[in-house]
C-alpha cells in the first residue's frame, strides 16, 4: 500500500486547509480516517492524484540519521566505516515534501545532496532484543534527501547545525509498505544527471539491525523517521538546480533548489 499526506491543489499553498492522510491506488487518492499506523477506514471522499499536492508523508517527532553506512561514502568523506552505527538527528522543522523548495542558507558555501532510503516507524518500540522482529515495527519506506552544509559539518565536527536548517530534509513522495529493503537501488539526480547510485545491499548495517540498535538509545514512536545512510557520489547543490532522489519500488522525491533568503 502507498500512504500519503495531501491537500487539494485548489486550496493553494498558503491555505490553512488541514492536511489529510490518504491511500494511493493508481491515479486516485482515497482519504483515510486516521494516520496509517492507527486503526483507519477508507473515507468516501477521493481525489485524482493530479489534483492533490503531496506533503511530507509524516510529521515525525524525530529524524534519526545514520552516517557512513556505505563503505564507499565513508571513503569519499575521508573516514573509516564506524565500528558501531554513527547516528545523529535532523530537526523536525527541516522536513519538507516533494516539489517543495530546498532553500540554501547564507551561512554555508557548500551544500550537498545525500540520497537515502528512509523507514517510517509504525509501532512504538524501545529496547528491542536481537530476537525481536524489528521490521514488524516499521510501517513502510520512503525517499529522503539528507541535505548537508558540508563546510559547517567539517568546521563544527558535530552535525546539528549542518543538517538542521529549515528545508534540509525532503521526505516523500509517499510511504510504500510493500518493500523488501535489503537490495533496492538508491539514486540521486541533479538536473537529470545521475550523481549517486548504490544498492541497500551495500549497507554496513542493514535496516533491521538499525531499528534494534537505535531503539536501545531512544524510544521510537509512530511517524518517526530513520534515514539509513547514503551511497557514494554526494555533491553540491546550487540555486536553480533540481534534485531528485529515487528508491526502486517507491518512487521519486523531487525538489527545486532556491537561493538563500536575504
Of the pLDDT bands very low, low, confident and very high (cuts 50, 70, 90), residue 134 is very high
Q: How many percent of the chain have pLDDT more than 70?
A: 99
Cα 182 to Cα 50: distance, rounded to the nearest angstrom:
32
Query: Do 135 and 96 fall within a single domain?
Result: yes
Query: Do 49 and 68 fall within a single domain?
Result: no
Q: How far is CA 38 from the centre of its chain?
A: 21
Query: Do 185 and 223 fall within a single domain?
Result: yes
Grid cell 529522503 is found at 144
Q: Which positions ≥6 away from 177 have C-beta within 8 Å?
A: 1, 2, 3, 36, 139, 140, 141
Q: How many percent of the chain have pLDDT more than 90?
A: 93
- Sign of dihedral through CA atoms 6, 10, 15, 17? negative
Q: What are phi and psi of 42, to 5 degrees?
A: -75, 130
Task: Say which CATH number the domain at 134 has.
Answer: 3.90.850.10
Task: Tell me which residue of 15, 22, 26, 87 sits closest to 57, measured CA to CA.
Answer: 22
Query: Do 46 and 67 fall within a single domain?
Result: no
Cα 85 to Cα 87: distance, rounded to the nearest angstrom:
6
Least confident of 45-59, 68-82, 160-174: 68-82
Q: What is the pLDDT of residues 192-251, one digit of tens each?
A: 999 999 999 999 999 999 999 999 999 999 999 999 999 999 999 999 999 999 999 999
Query: Do 114 and 221 fall within a single domain?
Result: yes
Query: Do 67 and 43 fall within a single domain?
Result: no
Of the pLDDT bands very low, low, confident and very high (cuts 50, 70, 90), residue 14 is low
Q: What is the mean pLDDT of residues 138-144?
A: 99
pTM above 0.95, yes or no: yes
Query: Do 144 and 44 fall within a single domain?
Result: no
Query: Do 12 and 120 fall within a single domain?
Result: no
8 Å CB contact between 146 and 114: yes
Query: Do 88 and 19 fall within a single domain?
Result: no
Task: Say which CATH number the domain at 37 has.
Answer: 2.30.30
Query: Do 120 and 242 fall within a single domain?
Result: yes
Least confident of 16-20, 85-89, 161-165, 183-187: 16-20
Query: Do 31 and 152 fall within a single domain?
Result: no
Of the pLDDT bands very low, low, confident and very high (cuts 50, 70, 90), residue 114 is very high
Domain hosting residue 86, numbered range: 63-258
Query: Do 9 and 78 fall within a single domain?
Result: no
Number of folded domains that form the chain: 2
Amino acid at each position: 500500500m502507498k500512504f500519503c499526506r495531501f491537500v487539494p491543489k485548489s486550496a493553494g499553498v498558503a491555505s490553512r486547509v488541514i492536511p489529510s492522510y490518504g491511500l494511493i491506488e493508481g491515479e486516485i487518492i482515497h482519504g483515510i480516517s486516521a494516520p496509517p499506523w492507527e486503526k483507519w477506514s477508507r473515507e468516501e471522499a477521493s481525489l485524482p492524484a493530479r489534483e492533490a499536492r503531496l506533503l511530507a508523508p509524516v510529521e515525525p517527532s524525530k529524524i534519526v540519521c545514520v552516517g557512513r553506512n556505505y563503505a564507499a561514502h565513508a571513503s569519499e568523506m575521508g573516514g573509516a566505516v564506524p565500528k558501531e552505527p554513527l547516528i545523529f538527528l535532523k530537526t523536525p522543522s527541516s522536513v519538507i515534501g516533494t516539489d517543495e523548495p530546498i532553500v540554501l542558507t547564507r551561512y554555508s558555501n557548500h551544500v550537498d545532496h545525500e540520497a537515502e532510503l528512509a523507514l517510517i516507524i509504525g509501532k512504538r518500540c524501545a529496547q528491542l532484543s536481537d530476537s525481536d522482529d524489528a521490521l514488524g515495527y516499521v510501517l513502510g519506506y520512503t525517499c529522503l534527501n539528507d541535505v548537508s552544509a558540508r563546510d559547517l559539518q567539517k568546521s563544527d565536527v558535530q552535525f546539528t547545525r549542518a543538517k538542521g536548517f529549515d528545508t534540509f530534509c525532503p521526505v516523500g513522495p509517499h510511504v510504500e509498505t510493500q518493500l523488501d529493503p535489503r537490495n533496492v537501488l538508491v539514486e540521486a539526480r541533479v538536473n537529470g544527471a545521475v550523481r549517486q547510485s548504490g544498492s541497500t545491499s551495500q549497507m554496513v548495517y542493514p535496516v533491521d539491525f538499525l531499528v534494534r540498535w537505535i531503539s536501545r538509545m531512544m524510544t521510537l514512536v509512530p511517524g518517526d523517521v530513520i534515514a539509513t545512510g547514503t551511497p557514494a557520489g554526494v555533491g553540491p547543490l546550487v540555486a536553480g538546480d533540481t534534485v531528485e532522489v529515487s528508491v526502486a519500488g517507491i518512487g521519486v522525491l523531487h525538489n527545486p533548489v532556491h537561493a538563500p533568503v536575504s
